[in-house]
Amino acid sequence: MNPDTLTWLLAAGVPIALAVTVVTAVVRRRSGSGIGPEGPTRPSDPTEAQGAATSTAVLDRPAPGVAEAPAAEAAPVEVAPPVPPVEVPTGEVPAAEAAVEPELEVPAPVAGRLARLRGRLARSGSPLGARLLAVLSRDHLTEDDWDELEETLLLADVGAGPTSDLIEALRTRVRVEGLREPAQVRALLREQLLALVDPSLDRTLSTTPSTAADGSHVPAVVLVVGVNGTGKTTTVGKLARVLVAEDRTVLLGAADTFRAAAADQLQTWGSRVGVHTVRSDRDGADPAAVAFDAARQGRAEGVDVVLVDTAGRLQNKAGLMDELGKITRVLTREAPLAEVLLVLDATTGQNGLNQARVFGEVAGVTGIVLTKLDGTAKGGIVVAVQRELGVPVKLVGLGEGPDDLAPFDPEEFVDGILQG
């Protein structure tokens, strides 16, 4: 063989041999560590498994000088334990969900209210009694003095007719008896004023139930009427308290269907003393139908008194007054009317007489309720309205409190005026 050829073969074969050697070593190493072309395999021998774990640990160890990163810790998952079902017995409500019954109010006794009438009138600042006593106590009464007395009475809304009667009676008594002492003059004036108020009128409320021909129970039905702004709904609520204080069972009828708040207001008044309210479930319902339903329910429940509130209406509105007549006619089909109470604002004075006259013709008024009597100097309206209608003042409003409605007492009223 040519020496040059041999030299070439030797030069080319050495690198090839080296390459084969390296490949062989790599293959053997892979086979020995259990890593094949399909991925890691589990060694069958425990010794091999220990060696493999050691090799893996060596391979996974970080290089010198490189900090080992802590393994990420999985956040623990909290699983709430199941809530056992709450077993509620049939017909019972859990204590937490049970409705709390409101505490009922106890109305003040009616007797205590009568005693307050005199004090309220005395504090109202009415100059009627003081002016009358001042004039009558003069040594010599001239015509000017009598004119002053007449003017004082007219300004107090006593009315022209009652004023003339009172002046004439005073003239005669002073001239005949020659009264000059303050105590004598006061006694004379009290006597004459009391005669005008007329203590002989029957001022009791007809609130006693009756029995029908078939033996069924019939409640006393009280219809409350009046113009706007006199405080009818409030008066009905206060009257319910008066009756409850007298141990009467009461049912309210919200026949004012034109004001959405009227039925709510009346229901609030009743709920405070445990009195139920019959009302319509829609605004603008027929008020006569609501009044009829109240009377029928009161009869079925056996209550003593049914109080029916009506919408405020002006005395010169023919349509509204005709509707009031319809209410009275429909009501009497179920139960007779025991009372028709007209609510008047004492501060309106002589204008109240026009209201009283028209309502008396349409609804057959049987009694007057005077509101705001404690805050006016026009107490003479009591005399005038009784003279005009021929019906008594039965109740008076003494203030804004829930129990500031009292039966009218003529003597307490006159004493309050003279004390003012």
Q: What is the 3-class SS of 339-358, one letter each residue?
A: EEEEEEEHHHCCHHHHHHHH
| Tokens representing residue 395 in the block | 């109740």
- What was the pLDDT predicted at 64? 47
Q: Which three-class secondary structure state does DSSP give residue 230? A: coil
- Give the amino acid at 216: S
Highest mean pLDDT among 71-80, 179-188, 217-226, 252-261: 217-226
pTM for this structure? 0.73
Cβ atoms of 283 and 231 within 8 Å: the answer is no
Would the CA dihedral through 353, 358, 361, 362 be positive or negative? negative
Long-range contact set of residues 45-49: C-beta below 8 Å, sequence gap at least 24: none
- What was the pLDDT predicted at 108? 86
Q: Is the pLDDT of residue 130 over 90?
A: no
Q: How many helices (H) and strands (E) does the chain have?
A: 14, 12
Is 312 known to sit in a ligand binding site?
A: yes
Is 231 known to sit in a ligand binding site?
A: yes
Q: Is the pLDDT of residue 346 over 90?
A: no
Q: Is the pLDDT of residue 289 over 90?
A: yes
Classified by CATH at the fold level, domain 110-197 comes out as Four Helix Bundle (Hemerythrin (Met), subunit A) (1.20.120)
Distance CA 66, CA 330 (A): 103
Is 156 known to sit in a ligand binding site?
A: no
The average pLDDT across 110-137 equals 71
87 phi and psi angles, rounded to 5 deg: -90, 115
Is 285 known to sit in a ligand binding site?
A: no
Is 41 known to sit in a ligand binding site?
A: no
Cα–Cα separations (whole angstroms), residue 110 to 79, 170, 245, 273, 371: 67, 35, 7, 15, 17
**Strands 276-278 vs 367-371: parallel, antiparallel or unpaired:** unpaired
Q: Is the pLDDT of residue 114 over 70?
A: no
User: How big is the chain, counted in residues?
Assistant: 420
Which one of 3.40.190.10, 3.40.50.300, 3.20.20.70, 3.30.70.870 gives the CATH number of domain 210-365? 3.40.50.300
- What was the pLDDT predicted at 77? 43
- Residue tagged 């056996």 (tokens): 302
Give the DSSP H or E segment for 217. Answer: strand 217-218
Is 13 known to sit in a ligand binding site?
A: no
Is 286 known to sit in a ligand binding site?
A: no
Of 236, 243, 251, nearest in space to 207 by CA: 243
- What was the pLDDT predicted at 2? 53
Is 232 known to sit in a ligand binding site?
A: yes
Cβ atoms of 177 and 403 within 8 Å: the answer is no
- Give the amino acid at 295: A
| Tokens representing residue 290 in the block | 């609501």
Is 226 known to sit in a ligand binding site?
A: yes
Could you tell me where the beta strands, DSSP code E, fall in 260-402? 276-278, 305-309, 337-345, 367-371, 393-397
The average pLDDT across 330-344 equals 94
**Stretch(es) of the chain classified as CATH 1.20.120:** 110-197
**Stretch(es) of the chain classified as CATH 3.40.50.300:** 210-365
Is 371 known to sit in a ligand binding site?
A: yes
Is 227 known to sit in a ligand binding site?
A: yes
What is the per-residue burial (b if ≥16 Cβ within 10 Å, else e) of 25-40? eeeeeeeebbeeeeee
- 256 vs 420, more confident: 256
Is 233 known to sit in a ligand binding site?
A: yes
Is 173 known to sit in a ligand binding site?
A: no
The DSSP symbol for 195 reads H
